[in-house]
Amino acid sequence: MSSLDLGLIGNCTLGVLIDERAEMVWGCLPRFDGDPFFCSLLRERRDTDDFGFFAIDVIDFARAEQQYLENTAVLVTRLYDQHGGCIEVTDFAPRFHQHGRIFRPMMLVRKMKRLAGSPRITLRLRPACSYGSQRPGVTWGSNHVRYVTPDLAVRLTTDASITAVLQETTFFLEDNLTFLFGPDETVPEAANKLGQHFLDETAHYWRQWVSTLGIPFEWQDAVIRAAITLKLNTYEDTGAIIAAMTTSVPEAPNSMRNWDYRYCWLRDGYFVVNALNRLGGTHSMERYIAYIVNVAAAATNGLQPVYGIDERARLEEREVPELPGYRLMGPVRVGNDAYRQVQHDVYGSVILAATHLFFDRRLTRQGDATLFHRLEPLGERAVAVYDQPDAGLWEFRGSSRVHTYSAVMCWVACDRLAKIAAHLALHDRGEYWRGQANRLRGDILRQAWSEPLGCFSASLDGQGIDASLLLLVEVNFVEADDPRFIATVAVIERELRRGDFIFRYVDEDDFGAPETAFLVCTFWYINALATLGRRDEARELFVKVLGYRNRHGLLAEDVDPRSGEQWGNFVQTYSMVGLINAAIRLSIRWDQAF
């Protein structure tokens, strides 16, 4: 049975998920949102004709060990047989500085070597194309195999036996083997020499990158792994950061909550930028803000909540019948119809992210009056829609309401524009936006407070509660000592907490009552506890939540509070960002540590 106990390798162009036995189970080419060459995550190997994976079958397999090389995105798996034999598999995607730029090709490197005994193995490299509907065409030469799809040709260059690759013959692993899986180009060097060079340079790159991070004293390993993962979810060519590597891993068993997350949600902007700011990841932060600003500039009829990593607006959703789904729990969807939705919080999200350009002196590009005036139409749109129904941040597909969080983020748009104008000494515009912000805030405070509930409500009609209300202090809408916020946290604790986790909401939606907890909501709650001075409780809960990560320290979107099993698309940027922000907030300071 599949699980999300997977490792992630990548290079900010592509990403691949690898299971505990070194099978490549998910990976798209030529980029994150491309056609999956490896898709056994969504179609488990069940018979001899299955395809969509790169596996190493060890004869008389006994056990496996797996870990990352410290402070890198290089994954090492050791496979043992029942006779004392052992092989080591090293997987990575090349990424390093070369010729004054970052070398990050569409390439995977797999190195294998014998560590002990006389292990016998069978190589099964069976890529898929057209979303699992067929296998690529195959041609080969003396040292390579070409896999040809309708849209792309990929070349495997190797020093392994081509016959062993093509016919899957079983053999004793006597020598080191290298597999370069990438562009359909002739490799000018010996595969093992080039593979080792790429490995040395890639490991050096990641360790040097980690050395530049600003991390907390406590939970350093957890934060470093989360930071590397956040970096791996970045499509560096445009600056976009995807929500997750996968599509259609369900939020709960047989829930039909199967969505394609290989795109960039503007809502995530604030949280991602905040994490990158705290880590000191200014290059990724600046690229991401540039992506957001470019998307906003191209929008003529209001902002969508989600865009493609290439800034495209249309993400038509369709089902793929050829892939039965994670644990046979379809459907598998490609594209995401959330792009059609009206979600008013995006205006605040974009302006909040762009605000860093005006105040962070580390950034190469500094915000100026020209950029400010380009942002003002987004503020005007926020003023026009703050009290209008939308799908909300939880993206309800069958209903719309005037969501409190959306309204608050419209206030955020006005508030930050006022602060930017003051910073730029644009006094008239500053007064205008401060007046708009004050008006919106007054309306929201009056309408969102529910006397029957005794807290802020999820919508401006005083109905329901949801976890987004935990963010009211985070965006400076209310103060932490505001009795209304304190009361709201208490109600959320009582109504939305299940074990160690906070649910988004518990009311039924388009698919019934939620069964799993959206992980980032628990991190929001942990931050709220710290804000309220309940630091010991926050730390205790944070440590518990860390215990639910997989063996590599990675998190999906959701967790079942009863079983502790992870569900939802993987690896989830939102969850890893939540971990980073909470750890930095809760850790003791370095000057208190010694």
Domain boundary assignment for the chain: 7-210, 212-592
On whether the 212-592 domain is CATH 3.40.50.300, my answer is: no
The dihedral built from the CA positions of residue 456, 460, 463 and 466, taken in this order, carries a sign that is negative
| Cα(77)–Cα(267) distance, integer angstroms | 36
pLDDT for position 562: 94
From CA 157, how far away is CA 142, in angstroms rounded? 9
pLDDT reported for residue 144:
96
Kind and range of the H or E element at 541? helix 535-546
CA distance 562 to 568: 16
Distance CA 263, CA 52 (A): 22
H-run or E-run covering 29: strand 24-29
How many CB atoms lie under 10 A from the CB of residue 364? 8
Contact between residue 251 and residue 516 where contact means Cβ atoms under 8 Å apart:
yes
Contact between 199 and 111 under an 8 Å Cβ cutoff? The reply is: yes
Query: In one letter, which amino acid is 425?
Result: A
Contacting residues for 479 by C-beta, under 8 A, at least 6 apart: 473, 485
Find the helix packing angle between 573-586 and 269-279, rounded to 10°: 50
Spatial distance between the Cα atoms of 192 and 283, rounded to a whole number of angstroms: 33
From 41, 47, 45, select the one nearest 131 (Cα to Cα).
41
Separation of alpha carbons 430 and 440, rounded Å: 15
Query: Is the omega angle on the peptide bond into residue 571 within 30 degrees of 0, that is, cis?
Result: yes
* Cβ neighbour number for residue 437 with a 10 Å cutoff: 23
- Here the tokens at position 452 are 């029957």
In the predicted model, residues of the chain with pLDDT beneath 70 are 1-2
* Pick from 27, 17, 124: nearest CA to 75: 17
Measuring CA to CA, which residue among 575, 566, 587 is closest to residue 217? 587
Residue-level pLDDT at 269: 77
In angstroms, the first-to-last Cα distance of the chain is 46
Q: How many Cα neighbours within 13 Å face the side chain of 384?
A: 8
DSSP states along 486-525: HHHHHHHHHHHEETTEE-S--S-BTTBS--SEEHHHHHHH
Q: Name the DSSP class of 173.
A: -
pLDDT value of position 187: 92
Rounded distance between C-alpha atoms, residue 78 and residue 53, angstroms: 18
User: What are the CB-based long-range contacts (under 8 Å, 24+) for 153-161?
Assistant: 153/184, 154/29, 154/37, 154/127, 154/181, 154/182, 154/183, 154/184, 155/181, 155/182, 155/183, 155/184, 155/185, 156/125, 156/180, 156/181, 157/182, 157/187, 157/191, 158/191, 159/190, 159/191, 159/192, 160/123
Q: Supply the pLDDT for residue 2.
A: 63
| Encoded tokens for 268 | 């995530």
Q: Which SS3 state, helix, strand or coil, does residue 560 take?
A: coil
Tokens of 429: 């515009």
**Euclidean distance between CA atoms 219 and 321, whole angstroms:** 43
Region label for 59, one of left (φ > 0), alpha (ψ between -120 and 50) or beta (otherwise): beta
The structure tokens 């040097």 sit at 208
Smallest CA-to-CA distance from 43 within 114, 170, 131 is with 131
Predicted confidence at residue 594, as pLDDT, reads 83
* CA–CA distances in Å: residue 74 to residues 44, 50, 178, 225, 260: 25, 28, 15, 12, 26
Per-residue model confidence (pLDDT) at position 536 = 97
| Count of C-beta atoms within a 10 Å radius of residue 366 | 11
Q: 369-385 and 404-423 are packed helices; what angle lies between their axes, rounded to 10 degrees? A: 150
Predicted TM-score (pTM) of this structure: 0.96
What's the rounded Cα separation, in Å, for the pair 520 and 568? 12
